């Protein structure tokens, strides 16, 4: 039997580093089997040119945690490389997450240093989820935080994205499409994504794109055939060969469809978009086709859209794909999963990391949002028992059971729009970087000092 060499979602439970399984096995065999840990999932630094990040991926995280299991084959693999003991192997056979999870609501705007998710669970359970949590947060946040910048740059105009082509994987394409829908895309290209997420189909137009047009003897024949098939709207790419001639062919198709009260759009996918868009608008208007929309594509991102908007182009829609799929300007995200507290039968021990540039904060924490005059004033990271503003973390899993209802994509969209209106306009500037004020409460600072002092005593 041929050995499987490609990745499967079933491999997720054993994707982490060797040390994770070794440490968990040591805890189980030693005295810390029943110790409870409080873990924080945090983004250390803001990606380049971003003024805020968007939290997405909560559904994926909650569902995966609830379903986390180990198969006999996976356990055999870990035993084969002597990463776990026989006793721990028996534990993994019965594994089921039993802890609590507190998280920000999906679509929440957040900033570096803020615990997006807090997990309170046996040390072993939290530890085994390390790679998954870091990776799940990284990918989802990167896509949402990138795509929303194009939505902001386009202002009142529509943005559509992203197709799966050129993604790093189909899983990443799925996540990117979901993220784009959440932050404001007017359409999601993949039928399966629309269906699974119950997203409105948006623009159901038939598209006569380059491959379709070039498959016919002439451009006009291709456009004509597409028009015959299109039961709703029709989108015509006019720059397969020559834009001006393509436009003239399209105009004839548009006039014929207009008599039948069927809509048609023009798509420009190459060249000097600003110049060509103005030319096309002028020609359409001359022919009495003032209501024919124009869509622009061609590797657009927030920076190109901003420049086009500054030229007052008469386009209606922008298609954003590759740049958002790979977040080309800054595709990385420094996500960390840190132990902040250990609870034993003897009491609570708060934990922190002292490494320069990688310092973490101790204790069970919460993020509070402070508003003033219907605007966000600042965020405060404090201890969970404090009352310093609106608490952003809410419980989503209690003792291993999901205790929240997953919101629809439209509900998340509304949540984001409300926050954008409350955010100072300068943070919506895609060209300049501004640092949103994130403070630490006095109680947390005092705890930090005490914990650091206790740690340093070990070395004196």
| pLDDT tens-digit series, residues 186-200 | 888 888 888 888 877
Name the residue with higher pLDDT: 2 or 433: 433
Q: What string of DSSP letters covers 15-31?
A: -S-HHHHHHHHHHHHST
- In this prediction, residue 213 carries a pLDDT of 96
- Residue range 227-249, pLDDT digits in tens: 998 888 899 999 999 999 999 99
Strand 347-350, strand 335-344: pairing: antiparallel
Fold of 144-326: TIM Barrel (3.20.20)
Provide the pLDDT confidence category of residue 201 given band limits of 50, 70 and 90: low
Percent of the chain with pLDDT over 90: 85
- Residue range 249-281, pLDDT digits in tens: 999 999 999 998 999 999 999 999 999 999 999
Give the residue carrying structure tokens 């110049």. 275
Helical residues (DSSP H) of 287-341, grouped into ranges: 302-310, 322-326
- Residue range 279-307, pLDDT digits in tens: 999 999 999 999 999 999 999 999 999 99
Mean pLDDT of 440-450: 98
Round to whole Å and give the CA distance between 126 and 114. 19
Please report, for the chain, the start and end positions of each structural domain, with discontinuous segments joined by +. 9-142+330-459, 144-326
Q: How many beta carbons lie within 10 A of that of residue 389, not counting itself?
A: 18
Is residue 203 scored above 80 in pLDDT? no
The residues near 213 (Cβ < 8 Å, ≥ 6 apart) are 219, 222, 223, 237, 240
Q: What is the CATH number of domain 9-142+330-459?
A: 3.20.140.10
Calculate the average pLDDT of the chain. Answer: 94
Instruction: Tell me the pTM.
Output: 0.94
Nearest to 239 by CA among 214, 204, 202: 214
- C-alpha gyration radius of the chain: 26
As given in the structure block, the two tokens for residue 195 are 């269906």
- Residue range 13-45, pLDDT digits in tens: 999 889 999 999 999 999 898 999 999 999 999
As given in the structure block, the two tokens for residue 19 are 């040390």
The residues near 228 (Cβ < 8 Å, ≥ 6 apart) are none
């Amino acid at each position: 039997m041929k050995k499987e060499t490609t990745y499967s979602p079933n491999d997720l439970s054993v994707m982490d580093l060797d040390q994770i399984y070794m440490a968990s096995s040591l805890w189980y065999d030693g005295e810390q089997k029943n110790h409870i840990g409080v873990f924080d999932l945090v983004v250390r630094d803001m990606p380049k040119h971003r003024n805020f990040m968007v939290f997405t991926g909560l559904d994926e995280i909650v569902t995966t945690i609830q379903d986390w299991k180990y198969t006999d084959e996976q356990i055999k693999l870990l035993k084969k490389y002597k990463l776990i003991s026989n006793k721990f192997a028996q534990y993994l056979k019965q594994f089921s997450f039993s802890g609590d999870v507190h998280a920000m609501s999906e679509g929440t705007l957040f900033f570096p240093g803020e615990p997006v998710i807090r997990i309170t669970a046996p040390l072993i359970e939290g530890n085994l989820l390390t790679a998954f949590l870091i990776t799940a947060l990284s990918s989802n946040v990167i896509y949402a935080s990138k795509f929303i910048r194009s939505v902001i740059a386009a202002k009142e105009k529509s943005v559509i994205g992203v197709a799966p082509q050129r993604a790093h994987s189909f899983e990443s394409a799925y996540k990117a499409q979901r993220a784009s829908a959440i932050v404001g895309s007017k359409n999601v290209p993949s039928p399966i994504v629309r269906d699974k997420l119950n997203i409105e189909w948006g623009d159901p137009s038939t598209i006569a794109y380059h491959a379709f047009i070039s498959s016919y003897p002439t451009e006009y024949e291709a456009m004509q055939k597409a028009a015959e098939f299109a039961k709703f709207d029709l989108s015509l790419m006019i720059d397969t060969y020559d834009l001006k001639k393509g436009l003239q062919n399209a105009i004839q198709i548009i006039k014929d469809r207009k008599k039948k009260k069927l809509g048609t759009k023009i798509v420009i996918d190459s060249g000097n978009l600003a110049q060509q868009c103005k030319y096309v608008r002028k020609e359409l208007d001359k022919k009495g086709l003032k209501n024919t929309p124009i869509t622009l594509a061609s590797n657009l991102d927030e920076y190109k859209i901003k420049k086009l908007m500054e030229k007052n182009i008469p386009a209606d829609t922008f298609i954003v794909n590759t740049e958002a799929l790979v977040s080309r300007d800054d595709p990385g995200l420094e996500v960390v999963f840190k132990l902040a507290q250990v609870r034993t039968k003897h009491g609570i021990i708060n934990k922190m990391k002292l490494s320069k540039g990688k310092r973490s904060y101790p204790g069970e924490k919460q993020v509070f949002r402070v508003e003033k005059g219907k605007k966000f004033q600042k965020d405060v990271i404090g201890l969970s028992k404090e009352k310093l503003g609106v608490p952003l973390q809410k419980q989503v899993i209690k003792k291993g059971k999901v205790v929240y209802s997953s919101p629809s994509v439209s509900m998340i969209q509304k949540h984001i729009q409300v926050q954008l209106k409350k955010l100072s306009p300068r943070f919506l500037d895609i060209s300049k970087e501004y640092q949103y004020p994130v403070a630490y409460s006095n109680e947390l600072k005092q705890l930090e000092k005490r914990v650091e002092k206790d740690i340093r005593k070990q070395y004196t």
